[in-house]
Amino acid sequence: MKSQELVLWFKDIGIEDIHLVGGKNASLGEMFQKLTKKRINIPDGFAVTASAYQHFLKEEQLEPEIRRLIHNINPKSVESLRKYGHEIREHMLRADIPPKLRIAIIDAYRKLQRKYGKNREVAVRSSATAEDLPDASFAGQQETYLNVRGEAHLLEACKKCFASLFTNRAIHYRIDRNFNHFDVSLSIGVQLMVRSDLGSSGIMFSIDTETGFKDAVLINSIYGLGENIVLGRVNPDEFYVHKPTLKLGYKPILSKKLGNKKLKMIYSHEGSKESTRNILTTQKERESYSITEKETLELAKWACQIEDHYKKPMDMEWAKDGKSKKLYIVQARPETIQSRRDTSVLEEYHLGKKGRIITKGRSVGSKIGTGQAQIVKDVHDMKKFRKGNVLVTDMTDPDWEPIMKIAAGIITNRGGRTCHAAIISRELGIPCIVGTNNATQKIKNKQPITVSCAEGETGYIYDGILKYKIQTHHLNNLEKPNTSVMVNLGNPEQAFEVAQMPHEGIGLAREEFIINEYIKIHPKALINFNTLVDKDAKRKIQELTKGYKNKEHYFIDKLSQGVATLAAAFYPKDVIVRLSDFKSNEYAHLIGGKLFEPLEDNPMIGWRGASRYRTKSYKKAFALECKALLKVRKEMGLKNLKIMVPFCRTVKEGKLVLKEMAKNGLKRHKDNLEIYVMCEIPANVILADEFAKIFDGFSIGTNDLTQLTLGLDRDSELVADIYDERNDAVKTLVATAIQKAKANKRHIGLCGEAGSLPDFAQFLVNQGIHSISVAPDALMKTIVTVLNAERNLKRK
């Protein structure tokens, strides 16, 4: 019978055997049995069972002393936990592994050696029988031993694994969750060691860890063995891949972010005992991605297959063998935080007045927290930490969990969004910012601070206690209006979070944010990089475009990734991307921009929008935009992307722009591509019938339409009192545009700020507009306004 065996091979166990071999081993056995057939690589191995652990306790008569020591622990005292936890582990380590169990482990080890070759290293991993339960995450509380070679070292590692059931953190967690210490047993997985010391390794999730967005795979990657990524010792490379279009055969890598990867864990053969050690990575390694795009896509496909097999979001560890160059999955467990979140309630955190930014890093979650900073540099100083303070440290590991649960926020120098600090802060529901590089230097001890994770992927630490508010929306009973309420969004960092709100897609996605924040360089400076005369600009471009021999590809990649993230977040609903609409003075502020931009007295009504794209001097730069958008649709499969031409003054100009787009692969109606035009110049309204012949839809931009209708500069405070979208002249043009678009069977929406004004939204509904697009913070309010307007219209 399985339940009495001391050793079971992966091929003989499955997910139903958690009580025998723990969650980790049960999952490895399940995948080895079911998923290797689908060409997912799982290293073979065997499990030392829970029965073996019980046999060890019984034969060595260990339980009475363990019970006595546990009874003495004061769970509220870090010192008590450390003292008695150490004594329990030492008590177990002094014992011998019983002969019957020793023989079973060695026999299995020799069989594994015969399969893979003599002296092959193994990984020895703890697998608790209560691990990876839906309502409690025991993962990471016991120990793992890597690069274990030889029978004596294996037996010693197994004994250490048994003892690690009583690490300080594991004891504390069980006490905290009211688990009986003797209801949990410890199984051990002995698995072929993938030579990621010569390759790379990492963690991936089949769900976004911050927002719960279910249609993306998140992959983190580093060089060397994977322990550094789990413990947050390095800032990893980060990749997002869109699942729905990946499954259709496309290559939808939505984003790639280069981590510094300063350390690499490798094997150490120093002395008599083989183990591991950290070395510094080379500059070339730090400036290169640790996996290729092909490998990124293969890992993402595996993540989808594993999720489909288990029918739930999954948290996986992977490794790349530097010798064979093969990828392997070495662990998989259910994701236990975002997948269990109540999606019927939406909480929005809004920071009031912002303060001085002390430092910033990667945000974990979307909450805001405040408190007094408490810098803790060493685990031995934990006893000084006070409840309600913000923990500021270099990095955390599982031993820190007793103080993390009483912190108002967590800030670390190192680590990515899958490191220990990030995982635990999500579980605890507190704001956390990782990878700041300098928090312990920049933040003063006892300094009042605000930790804001509510502003996208970048988390900010502000000086002082700042006010913030929380808006709670209950979505279960929210009706869907007939008028589509869409969102204006240009920041890809907010896309996954905003997409959780009720919406009908993106009505206006501005490229300007992506160009300003991600690219930062004027496109013509990239095209003409080799002949640039501005040495400072050339140095900055060289720094930003590391790894790009062809500088134009940098623009295409960054723009396509930003746009793709927006399109993927709202897939399959429409995402209308407006081509870049910088004015010449704004373009000049980009790196190298002053070399290529004219000086205009009034850039607001000068060389912008369609006029720029059709001009001979700018056509090559415009081609880069087109290539980026074509990549999103053709390579990534995000065909929900529609394109909008801004500031198109004449029908002739519109035709010239469409011709230029077609030259670069963006031909109207090819592959179902629809191209809209902004309706923001009175000429667009007056000649709407003609514009409707060459474009598929209109989006009214009330900012420029108001400016040009009333003949004022909307940037001038001298005439600011006249500026009003509710002026009858503006409303007449808006009403006319809606009527003409509908008469020509063209989509008509509004993406100006006026859509969020309740009386103006009511006016738009009365006119029969198809869609209204507003900023994310006005979305819920506008839905309610539109619903009320539609009800009033029915009553008439």
pTM above 0.95, yes or no: no
**Beta partners for 240?**
218, 255
Could you give the 3-state DSSP secondary structure of residue 68?
helix
Q: What are the start-end ranges of the H helices in 262-344? A: 283-286, 293-310
Which helix (DSSP H) or strand (DSSP E) does residue 577 occupy?
Answer: strand 575-578
- Residue 134's pLDDT band, with cuts at 50, 70 and 90, is very low
For the annotated catalytic residues, the residue numbers are: 420, 751
Determine phi and psi for 208, rounding to 5 degrees. Answer: -70, 125
Half-sphere exposure of 654 (CA within 13 A, CB side): 27
Q: Residue 631, Cβ neighbours under 10 Å: how many?
A: 20
DSSP per residue, 623-641:
HHHHHHHHIIIIIS--TTE
Angle at 230 between CA 50 and CA 561, to 5 degrees: 130
- Residue 191's pLDDT band, with cuts at 50, 70 and 90, is very high
Average pLDDT on 537-559 reads: 94
Distance, CA of 496 to CA of 487 (rounded, Å):
13
pLDDT at 135 over 80: no
Q: What is the pLDDT of residue 251?
A: 98
Per the CB < 8 A criterion, the answer to whether 153 and 143 are in contact is: no
Average pLDDT on 36-46 reads: 96
Per the CB < 8 A criterion, the answer to whether 235 and 260 are in contact is: yes
The burial of 356, by beta-carbon neighbours within 10 Å (0-12 exposed, 13-18 middle, 19 or more buried), is given as exposed
CA trace torsion 464, 412, 287, 546 (10° rounding): -10
Q: For a pLDDT cut of 90, what percent of the chain falls above it?
A: 73
Q: CB under 8 Å to 671, separation ≥6 — which residues?
A: 633, 634, 639
Per the CB < 8 A criterion, the answer to whether 488 and 205 are in contact is: no
Q: Positive or negative CA dihedral for 721, 725, 728, 729?
A: positive
* Whole-Å CA distances, 257 to 362, 449, 557, 637: 12, 28, 12, 21
Mean pLDDT lowest for which of 286-295, 439-448, 706-715? Answer: 706-715
pLDDT at 206 over 50: yes
Q: What is the pLDDT of residue 716?
A: 72
pLDDT at 525 over 60: yes
Name the one residue in this structure whose structure tokens are 């997912």: 40
Distance, CA of 233 to CA of 236 (rounded, Å):
9
Read off the pLDDT of residues 279-296 as tens digits, 9 standing for 90 and up.
Answer: 999 999 999 999 999 999
Half-sphere exposure of 554 (CA within 13 A, CB side): 23
DSSP conformation class of 591 = B
Q: What is the pLDDT of residue 405?
A: 85
Structure tokens that stand for 240 in this block: 């997002």
- Residue 635's pLDDT band, with cuts at 50, 70 and 90, is very high
| Strand 314-320, strand 200-205: pairing | antiparallel
Q: What is the pLDDT of residue 269?
A: 66
- Residue 495's pLDDT band, with cuts at 50, 70 and 90, is very high
